[in-house]
Amino acid sequence: MDSPFTLIANETSGKRDAERLHALRRMLQERLGTEVRYRPFQNAEEIAGAAREAREEGKGTVFAAGGDGTLSCIADVLKGSGVAMAPLPMGTFNFFARGLDIPEGDEAAVDALAGGEVREFPVGEVNGRVFLNNASLGVYPAILRARETVYKNWGRSRLAAYWSVLKILAQPGHGMRLTVEVDGQRHDLHTPMVFVGSNPFQLRLFHLDGAELPEDGKLAFYYGQNVGRFAMLRTAVWLGFKKARKDREFGMLAGHEITVTVPKKSKRLVVAMDGERFHFDPPVKMRLLDHSLLVVVPKSSHAGTRVEDAA
């Protein structure tokens, strides 16, 4: 009989990481007492393909080993399917898994999830594509592009990620004009960056106003109020020290559905979601999908809605 458990993991980082992932599979099999199918991937298409295989069976649990980008890709496939995702944090920041109180060590994470329970979670969506933590336009997609170059030269680390932020913000010319419609109300903005949050943990981590909005079924829409490079650097410093404030460093809107357009015709808009860059034809439509994703969390976690409570 086929196993109801699948492990999807990135095996592109070399022999050491491959050995780590095989050890992770063995730990899962020992804790669960059954076979766990292993689906390694080399790129985003293979991640989605492996997740589709599990979705088509319509049951079971997908253990997703990776960072926020990997989890987001798998969640995009599994949303609304009845197949649960169990996040195994192996990325740089692991915002989604940390928000569920999942430990970042392999053995501790396996123990927590093997004895965990399934809960329902809302997810953000941009033009039909899921995001778990955030989506952004403007300067942040450029930061991600610079970050990949820094990673190639110096390896993946949180320090390297922070350096890529400073590197891009020190450059001039980041302002953009946008028309934003929030639940039917129009706002015209001139801003260097838009950041839309759906993960309360990440928003609280930086002590941002509006961190409770996703728990109330709304997206938190932040936009920079200063387009000068020195002002943006100052904002980055305040964020780093968790002291950025609404109406000083950024403006904030909130809503169930948000549409972003540009006054001038644009072929495609670059949107960063959970650390990955995507291109969309305008307009960009964002919304929060309630109770759309099943996720395995530690029983001690307060995150999510128990399935029986949401029924």
Same domain, 172 and 90: no
Express each pLDDT in 278-291 by its tens digit: 999 999 999 999 88
Does the bond joining 89 to the residue before it have cis omega, within 30 degrees of 0?
A: no
Same domain, 52 and 99: yes
Same domain, 100 and 189: no
Express each pLDDT in 45-82 by its tens digit: 889 999 999 899 877 899 999 999 999 999 999 999 99
Same domain, 47 and 167: no
201 lies in a domain? yes
Total domain count for the chain? 2
| CATH number for 100 | 3.40.50.10330
283 lies in a domain? no
Query: Model pTM?
Result: 0.87
Express each pLDDT in 139-172 by its tens digit: 767 777 766 676 666 667 666 666 566 666 556 5
Nearest to 20 by CA among 114, 110, 151: 110
174 lies in a domain? yes
Sequence-separated (6 or more) residues with CB below 8 Å from residue 109 = 88, 89, 97, 102, 103
Mean pLDDT score of the chain = 86
279 lies in a domain? no
Q: What is the mean pLDDT of each run of 10 residues along the chain (311 residues)?
A: 81 71 96 94 87 87 95 96 95 94 96 96 97 90 68 66 60 77 96 93 93 95 77 63 71 96 80 92 94 94 77 37
Same domain, 144 and 119: no
Q: Residue 1 and residue 6: Cα distance in Å, rounded?
A: 14
286 lies in a domain? no
81 lies in a domain? yes
| CATH number for 187 | 2.60.200.40
The boundaries of the domain holding residue 306 are 5-125+291-310
